[in-house]
Amino acid sequence: MKKNISAKMTALICVAVLSLSTLLTGCGSSRIPAGYYELSCVEEGDTTVKSKHLDDYGLDNSCLVVDGTGEAVFVMMLSTYEGTVNKGKKVIETDFGDIGYSVDGDDVILADENITLTFTRSE
């Protein structure tokens, strides 16, 4: 069963990162503070995978880095993607489409109707 969930989670995460266009934005700030954020939680349907189990799915080194100018870099499953934060639209603009986000305290949340990725600011 774990193998089926792993394959499904992997496919959904790739789809989410490469084609998030249906946006779900929540309350919170429209600005992502500059910093380094580690993937801390992935939610898909009734399945939730938190930080200590992300390595079971090949996601243990996934992160989001945002600099002071609004440039963003994602690392997911050892692939790197670049984007620009557009706080007016609450999206990160990338070559493969816009990714909606919300900010809740130290968390940056990326979500569509299938999957939610939570990145937590790291010290």
Domain of residue 50, residue span: 2-121
Assign residue 98 the CATH number of its domain: 2.40.128.50
DSSP state of 98: E
pLDDT, position 1: 41
pLDDT by residue (tens digit) across 28-65? Answer: 457 899 999 999 999 999 999 998 899 998 998 999 99
CA distances for 21 relative to 49, 53, 70, 120, angstroms = 23, 27, 20, 22
Q: How many domains does the chain divide into?
A: 1
C-alpha–C-alpha distance, residues 23 and 52, integer Å: 27
pLDDT by residue (tens digit) across 74-102? Answer: 998 889 999 999 999 999 998 888 888 99
Provide the pLDDT confidence category of residue 9 given band limits of 50, 70 and 90: low
